Amino acid sequence: MNTATGAAPRGTPATKTITLNEGFFSRRSPFDWLFAALMLAGAWFTFSRYGAYMDVYERGILVAAVPALVSLAWFWRPLRWLTLAVIGFSLLAIFSYQGSGLEGQAQLARSENVFWLKYFLSSQSAILWMSMLFFMSTIFYWLGMLSSPQHSGSLELIGSRLAWVAVAMALIGTMVRWYESYLIGADVGHIPVSNLYEVFVLFSWLTAAFYLYFEAQYKTRALGAFVMLVVSAAVGFLLWYTVVREAHEIQPLVPALKSWWMKLHVPANFIGYGTFALSAMVAFAYLIKQQAGQTRWYKLAPLWLLGIVLCFEPVVFRKTVGDAGSGYWAVYFGISALIVASIVFGRRRIAARLPSFEVLDDVMYKSIAVGFAFFTVATVLGALWAAEAWGGYWSWDPKETWALIVWLNYAAWLHMRLMKGLRGTVAAWWALVGLAVTSFAFLGVNMFLSGLHSYGTL
């Protein structure tokens, strides 16, 4: 039988034995093409309405963003609905600001008079909703982790859906904040990635979004309980920073940040930070699963390490910033202790719910690989930005030095993985320690050191 050509023996009915692989474009659904058309129409409208206010770099970014966004949405289809929801609600907020005959600050004042701006769609309202939803998502993930098998699936599904809505609110808040900055003044307007408040929002939704992708790819929601812990910790800092430092107030950019490089360098950098944090929490889950059967307290090293880190954070902030928000950090301390105690007593059930070691190892590796690629790009872009702003590509500023340490740490991890087959316990501990290194580069430098990046200090 000539099966290669699909020919059948003489005297038997002809049957089709080969199904040709469909092409990439032929696999696209009508909604895929509609999404692409909407993105093109949106770009055309933006050019026609605001093209005169853009420089050549901003136009280039907009042109590149359209095919990039369409490709991502075709690759991971939930992004289509996320993108449309963010665009739709962001435009609703923007149009709500544009009252008849109002300009600038008068438009901004409408955030106190228009119902859905005041309670949902102004930048601060949306970011507060993001914060609450991430907390709720973490709670539901943990309820699913610790509950009986017949209830765990539905509880984790609620946690996942809440995380999606939180990501959407974070993006809506970011887009609206961008618009609000221009209402304050044309010389004030900027992309909201310029200070600790804004980048913590960026870190939170990026980390959650990457986790949701892995959740869909590996068809397990069990890791959400761990990954959302680091997202909730970031949100906890964000809320404290908002109350104590009034960080939600939009401020003009310092001269060094008035550069289009910021629009590329900072997001790329925080994709690295977010995925490194994700890999560390997966590594923590790996170690919990590995040591779940231990009965001697001194062998539960990962648990006590988490407890020390979570409970040490309030002490550090109290020493660094004084009594500001001391009651808040006392509550944070108590919640951290409760989390650690819950994991200690529920470690066997948690271990049984976690995916296999192979899956945990694979997610950890892919997270670090993605983060390293973007962190490398961010470091190169940062050097180019430094040359423009300060006249040199590298100055051994504390932030630059610690960024190099982070890069070398994960470069070594990937080298050992790819060249020496690094797996298991050592890889997990290394990834977990990497979070401490990354956290110091991200936040510790701003707290304890000074330099050319001192505009991000606490």
How far apart (Å, rounded) are the C-alpha atoms in residues 258 and 389?
A: 9
Q: Contact at 8 Å (CB) between 140 and 162?
A: yes
Which of the residue ranges 27-31, 54-58, 221-225, 313-317 has the most confident prediction, judged by mean pLDDT?
221-225
Whether 124 shows a pLDDT value over 90: the answer reads yes
- Residue 319 pLDDT: 54
What's the rounded mean pLDDT across residues 221-229? Answer: 94
* CB of 325 closer than 8 Å to CB of 239: no
Average pLDDT, the chain: 85
- Point out the least confidently predicted range of 44-48, 103-107, 201-205: 103-107
Q: 27-31, 58-62, 328-332: which range is least confident on average?
A: 328-332
Q: Which residues contact 279 (CB under 8 A, 6 or more apart)?
A: 363, 364, 365, 367, 368, 371, 431, 434
The pLDDT value recorded for residue 66 is 92
Q: What is the average per-residue pLDDT within 399-427?
A: 94
Among residues 85, 89, 54, 146, the alpha carbon closest in space to that of 351 is found at 146
Q: Give the torsion sign (CA, 7, 8, 10, 13).
A: negative
Of the candidates 99, 255, 91, 113, the one whose C-alpha atom is nearest the C-alpha of residue 178 is 91
Looking at residue 166, what is its pLDDT? 98
C-beta of residue 359 within 8 angstroms of C-beta of residue 218: yes
* Predicted confidence band of residue 440 (pLDDT cuts 50, 70, 90): confident
Ramachandran area for residue 391 (φ above 0: left; ψ -120 to 50: alpha; else beta): left
With 50 as the cut, is the pLDDT of residue 180 above it? Answer: yes
More reliable by pLDDT, 452 or 65:
65
Which of 376, 157, 360 is closest to 268 using CA atoms?
Answer: 376
pLDDT for 451:
62
- The pair of structure tokens assigned to 424 is 């298991």
Confidence of residue 329 (pLDDT cuts 50, 70, 90): low
Mean per-residue pLDDT for 392-398?
Answer: 84
- Give pLDDT, residue 134: 98
Q: Examine the pLDDT at 213 and tell me if it is beyond 60.
A: yes
**Residue range 220-237: average pLDDT?**
93
pLDDT at 57 over 80: no
The number of CA neighbours under 13 Å toward the Cβ of 76 is 16
pLDDT more than 70, % of the chain: 84
Write down the pTM of the prediction.
Answer: 0.89
For residues 156 and 222, is the Cβ–Cβ distance under 8 A? yes
Q: How far is 190 from 173, CA to CA, in rounded Å?
A: 14
Between residues 291 and 147, the one the model is more confident about: 147
Q: Which long-range contacts (CB under 8 A, 24 or more apart) does 334-338 make?
A: 336/307, 336/310, 336/311, 337/307, 337/310, 337/311
Instruction: Tell me the CA distances in angstroms from 435 to 68, 254, 403, 432, one per residue in order.
Output: 29, 29, 13, 5
pLDDT at 174: 96
pLDDT > 90: percent of the chain: 49
pLDDT of residue 38: 94
Q: In this predicted model, which residue has the larger pLDDT, 35 or 331? A: 35
Contact 362, 288 (CB under 8 A): no
The Cα 330–Cα 240 span in angstroms is 12
- Answer yes or no: is pLDDT of 315 > 50: yes
pLDDT at 217: 95
Res 6 pLDDT > 80? no
What's the rounded mean pLDDT across residues 285-302?
74
Half-sphere exposure of 139 (CA within 13 A, CB side): 8
Q: What is the pLDDT of residues 67-107, one digit of tens each?
A: 999 999 999 999 999 999 999 999 999 988 986 666 777 78
Whether residue 298 is predicted with pLDDT greater than 70 in this model: the reply is: no
Q: When comparing pLDDT for 280 and 292, which is higher? A: 280
Helix (H) or strand (E) holding 309: helix 301-321
Residue 445 has a pLDDT of: 80
Within 51-99, where are the H helices? 56-75, 78-97
Tell me the pLDDT band of 254, cut-offs 50, 70 and 90.
confident
Residues 306-333: what's their mean pLDDT?
60
Q: What is the pLDDT of residue 458?
A: 57
Give the pLDDT confidence score for residue 337 in this predicted structure.
74
**Is 307:336 a contact under the CB 8 Å cutoff?**
yes
Please work out, in degrees rounded to the nearest 5, the angle formed at the alpha carbon of residue 164 by the alpha carbons of 163 and 165: 90
Residue 56 is predicted with a pLDDT of 82
Q: Kindly indicate the confidence band of residue 378, based on its pLDDT and cuts at 50, 70 and 90.
A: very high
Predicted confidence (pLDDT) at residue 45 exceeds the cutoff of 50: yes
pLDDT (mean) for 287-311 = 67
- The Cα–Cα gap between 147 and 244 comes to 37
At 18, the amino acid letter reads I
H or E element that contains 349: helix 347-353
**Across residues 436-451, what is the average pLDDT?**
80
pLDDT of residue 439: 87
For residues 288 and 34, the model is more confident at 34
The architecture of the domain spanning 256-294+349-458 is Up-down Bundle (1.20)
